[in-house]
A and B are shown apart, each in its own frame.
Chain A
Amino acid sequence: MDVDEQAKKIKNWAKRYAEKKGIELNPDEGRVDEVAKGLAVRQEKFGKRYCPCRIMTGDAEEDRKIICPCAYHEEELKEHGMCHCKLFSTKEQ
């Protein structure tokens, strides 16, 4: 599967995840596409959807925390209304 196709799949997954969690995707669709592509590139390269704005350590246990949806996104949504990668946002955004 090429990266663009993978990115589309990831975007659809992210939509479903957001609906399930009562949050939203970033209203800036261009930004969502960029993040989805970043995730797709990492999935292609490393086998998992590692957040494209976080640094992989090489430690599998540690890096598991940054597989999208990452371990930090809920706290970031509460604090800033968006996750660090700007993929998910709260409904108030």
Chain B
Amino acid sequence: MNLKSSIRYFAIVAALCLLCVGMSGCTSISSGGYEFKSGITPPKAVSDLMKNGTVILFITQNNCPACEQARPLITSLQSQYNGTNVTFVEFNIDNNVTSRIIGQTYGVTSTPTTVVLRKDGAAAIFVGVFDSNTVKSAIEDARK
């Protein structure tokens, strides 16, 4: 392989890498097993909430047993952050279009899905009945 074709080869590889990063969004992986994914534009209903600090979205739907199983966990976390700038909001996708749009924005395919939002909009997404300690770590990371 001569110099010219080597340069062309590396340029193609670099372009493909950049394309992959662009398509997947930037992620920062924590040691806690979750990642904050950036590149998602929060819908207005969410960005309005983010003005007050860290936001936790609890996305549910009707007749969802796993949502009911996770509800006490989210309630417990909510009480632990009572009086802080962490806001917990439930969006039931069966209830209104806004909730459905929020679900679509964060790629929700099953419920419950819990989204921890950092100030810059980066989101750590937990699908199903979550581990409270892991979500709490994500909230603490988001507050930094």
Contact = CB atoms under 8 A, between A and B. Distances in A.
Contacts, number: 46
A38 B128 contact: no
Interface in B117-133: 127-129
Nearest to A28: B69
A38 B93 CA distance: 15
A52 B66 CA distance: 9
Nearest to A30: B65
A48 interface: no
Contact of A31 (B63, B69, B112, B127): B69
Interface residues of B, number: 19
Contact of A55 (B66, B103, B128): B103
Interface in A37-90: 37-38, 41-42, 51-55, 84-86
A86 B65 contact: yes
B63 A84 contact: no
A14 interface: no
A25 interface: no
Given A31-B69, A84-B110, A86-B69, A52 B128 contact: no
Nearest to A34: B65
B64 A84 contact: no
A53 B68 contact: no
Contacts of A10: none
Contacts of A85: 65-66
Residue from A42, A51, A53, A86 having most chain B Cβ neighbours under 10 A: A53
20 contacts: A34-B65, A34-B68, A35-B65, A37-B63, A38-B64, A38-B65, A41-B63, A52-B65, A53-B64, A53-B111, A53-B112, A54-B111, A55-B61, A55-B93, A55-B103, A55-B108, A84-B66, A84-B128, A86-B65, A86-B129
Interface of B: 61-69, 93, 103, 108-112, 127-129
